Amino acid sequence: MPEVIEQPAVDDDVVAQYVQEEFSQNTVDQILDKMLLVVDELSGHPLRPYQTPMARRILESLIIGDAKTITACWARQSGKTEVLVNTISAAMIMFPRLAPIFPNLMGRFREGVWVGAFAPVEDMASNLFGRFVSRLTSERAQELLQDPEIDDKVSARTQELKLAKCGSLVRKQTCHPRAQIEGRTYHVVLVDEAQVADERVINKSISPMLASTRGTMILTGTPHYVKGAFYKVIQQNKRQQTKRSARQNHFEATWREVARAHPDYGIYVEAEKLKIGEDSDEFKLSYRLIWMLDKGMLTTSEKFERLCDNSMQTVKAYNLKPVLVGIDPARKQDSTIVTVTFVDWDHPDEYGTYEHRILNWLDLSGLEWEEQYYRIVDFLSAYTIWAIAIDVGGVGDVVASRLKVLLPDIEIIECKSDRGSQSQRWKHLMELMRQGKIGWPGHSKARRLKVWKRFQQQMEDAELRFEGPNIVVAAPDEVGAHDDYVDSLALSTWASAELSMPEVQTATNPFYGWHAA
């Protein structure tokens, strides 16, 4: 049996220090290290490299009670359900024993860890529940439960498994729209195959079951053809991860990551690739983790990556050719975004379309407008600018007027916000993307920047819909979703359609050998 965290000595000074440190991250990390040993002991084999971060985060969320929703989108048969079952089973055994030792931190588990095992239909729920039964009635689990310091036993019924002495339980339930499931209370809820789960049931019926316990919800599954609760929570978690010091709440493992840790898995998937095709819907959904959202979205993660220039970093200064700038002024909770775009004026195609490259972004949030003006001017002073396009809806007309004064030698294009005008900009941007006439930095150093991560997230979030002859692109109606980077990009590219080609000097291709930070 792995080493169990012992109760501190009775000495008053030691007890006082222990109470003071109980909520420290160091204490939580010590508990997590011990718990991961129990997980390995219970399962009989160590967690694989791609499995350990999720197991650790699940345990951490339960311990600190941060009431988060954790998502895991892993390739088929990669062991996501096994990780869940092993991790939660270890918590069911150990947390009630740790509660008296850490009363302020883990006192919620004095009467056990209560687990709700959900799936969209009965058969899926039975599969998840059956894994718990197999794990907690296994020979290894029985040996652990019979340890004198634990001394517990399993009581299993058709819908519920319970540890008799500590009170931990796991209950099988479905999240089918017609199921009557209200009234239960849990510390942790698992929803397997969440990509086909009913969003209304999750939000209305299941989520409140965690309210009184500051519980954790865990959604697992694979990509699907349509958006649902699973997709939306994944996007929320990805957006959250762009914030400084944010904990990771979304975990992904494509078949390649699994194959590195499990060679037999890789051999099988390679055979599947030959049989059904790497570009087939089935392979993309099951193993490559690609959401098939071609309709209804501005772009997809696959298309976004295709337009990334992996040799290019962000460019903080450029004076060889005049560039274009798009500014989307902040409204309420949004940020003011400035996008600088290079245009290869010397090489238009037969239709007069130019190659475009994003050079850099400026993200201004939480600043008063009087300060933003001068930050924008300072940022743009490093570039030779042909024109600046500004959305003049709302505060945009004021911004345009002020920049005309601050930048008198640069043409300011005032872009209207009506549906027709916006539609023209979106159609132009979408055509550039379709032809591969636009790209953006994709170098590993660029990908680490917050502005790059926010740009990627907003591009992949942006929804596309048709209103008569007009195209509308906007962020989804979700907390934390924005479209400022997308609007700013559309404005900067639209300037190239609005203006005649400037006179420029011939220069070598600027994208070879660039090492700007």
* 431 located within any domain: yes
The mean pLDDT value of the chain amounts to 87
Q: Is residue 333 very low, low, confident or very high in pLDDT (cuts 50, 70, 90)? A: low
Residue 20 neighbours by CB under 8 Å, 6+ apart: none
Q: Is residue 335 very low, low, confident or very high in pLDDT (cuts 50, 70, 90)? A: confident
SS3 123: helix
Which tens digits make up the pLDDT trace of 35-70? 999 999 999 889 999 999 999 999 999 999 999 999
Average pLDDT over residues 110-115: 96
Residue 356: CATH number of its domain: 3.30.420.240
Pairing of strands 188-191, 216-221: parallel
Task: Indicate whether 293 pLDDT > 60.
Answer: yes
Same domain, 321 and 178: no
Element (H, E) at 309: strand 308-309
Same domain, 243 and 309: no
Same domain, 243 and 313: no
Two structure tokens written together for 21: 């440190």
Pairwise CA distance, residues 293 & 299, whole Å: 8
Residue 379 neighbours by CB under 8 Å, 6+ apart: 338, 362
Q: How many percent of the chain have pLDDT more than 90? A: 62
Lowest mean pLDDT among 45-54, 141-150, 478-487: 478-487
Q: How far is CA 200 from the centre of its chain?
A: 21
Residue 326, beta-bridge partner list: 339, 389
Give the up-direction half-sphere exposure of residue 22: CA atoms within 13 A in the CB hemisphere.
19
Task: Indicate whether 502 pLDDT > 80.
Answer: no
* 104 located within any domain: yes
**The predicted structure's pLDDT at residue 510:** 56
**The predicted structure's pLDDT at residue 13:** 46
Tokens 């934390």 identify what position?
Answer: 480
Domain hosting 207: range is 12-253
Same domain, 228 and 309: no
* 80 located within any domain: yes
Rg (CA), the chain: 27
Pairwise CA distance, residues 230 & 475, whole Å: 17
Task: Indicate whether 21 pLDDT > 80.
Answer: no
State the amino acid at position 252 in one-letter form.
E
**The predicted structure's pLDDT at residue 8:** 40
Lowest mean pLDDT among 165-179, 309-323, 375-389: 165-179
Average pLDDT over residues 150-170: 92
Q: Is 364 exposed, middle or buried (0-12, 13-18, 19+ CB in 10 A)?
A: buried
Two structure tokens written together for 144: 């652990």
Give the up-direction half-sphere exposure of residue 20: CA atoms within 13 A in the CB hemisphere.
6
Per residue, the 3-state secondary structure of 369-405, as one string, reads HHHHHHHHHHHHCCEEEEEEEEECCCCHHHHHHHHHH
**The predicted structure's pLDDT at residue 411:** 92
DSSP-assigned letters across all residues of 7-72: PPPS-HHHHHHHHHHTTSHHHHHHHHHHHHHHHHHHHSSPPPTTTHHHHHHHHHHHHHT---EEEE
- Residue with the larger pLDDT of the pair 198 and 452: 452
* 276 located within any domain: no
Same domain, 363 and 217: no
Lowest mean pLDDT among 73-77, 186-190, 507-511: 507-511
**The predicted structure's pLDDT at residue 479:** 65
**The predicted structure's pLDDT at residue 156:** 84
* 51 located within any domain: yes
Q: Edge to edge, what strands does the sheet with 308-309 contain?
A: 308-309, 438-441, 356-364, 336-343, 318-328, 383-391, 411-415
* 293 located within any domain: no
Pairwise CA distance, residues 437 & 350, whole Å: 13
Which tens digits make up the pLDDT trace of 311-328? 999 999 999 999 999 999
Task: Indicate whether 512 pLDDT > 70.
Answer: no
Which tens digits make up the pLDDT trace of 203-236? 888 999 999 999 999 999 999 876 788 998 999 9
Cα dihedral: 356, 238, 233, 193 (round 10): 100
Same domain, 471 and 346: yes
Residues 188, 215 contacting (CB under 8 angstroms): yes
Same domain, 456 and 333: yes
Residue 19: CATH number of its domain: 3.40.50.300
**The predicted structure's pLDDT at residue 511:** 53
Same domain, 214 and 331: no
* 332 located within any domain: yes
Pairwise CA distance, residues 239 & 340, whole Å: 23
Domains of the chain: total: 2
Pairwise CA distance, residues 157 & 119, whole Å: 18
* 277 located within any domain: no
Q: CA separation (Å) from 288 to 84, 230, 267, 271, 447?
A: 21, 17, 15, 14, 21
Same domain, 208 and 343: no
Q: Is residue 459 very low, low, confident or very high in pLDDT (cuts 50, 70, 90)? A: very high
Lowest mean pLDDT among 20-24, 156-160, 387-391: 20-24
Q: What is the DSSP letter of 297?
A: B
CA distance from start to end of the chain: 51
**The predicted structure's pLDDT at residue 397:** 84
Q: What are phi and psi of 160, to 5 degrees?
A: -145, 140
Q: Is 245 exposed, middle or buried (0-12, 13-18, 19+ CB in 10 A)?
A: exposed
Same domain, 184 and 47: yes
Same domain, 415 and 334: yes
Q: Is residue 508 very low, low, confident or very high in pLDDT (cuts 50, 70, 90)? A: low
Task: Indicate whether 351 pLDDT > 90.
Answer: no
Element (H, E) at 463: strand 463-467
Q: Angle CA(175)–CA(178)–CA(184) in degrees, nearest 5? A: 50
Tokens 């345990």 identify what position?
Answer: 59
- Residue with the larger pLDDT of the pair 16 and 160: 160
Give the up-direction half-sphere exposure of residue 482: CA atoms within 13 A in the CB hemisphere.
22
User: Strand locations in 141-238, DSSP E?
Assistant: 154-156, 160-163, 169-174, 188-191, 216-221
Q: Is residue 295 very low, low, confident or very high in pLDDT (cuts 50, 70, 90)? A: low
Same domain, 38 and 100: yes
**The predicted structure's pLDDT at residue 22:** 56
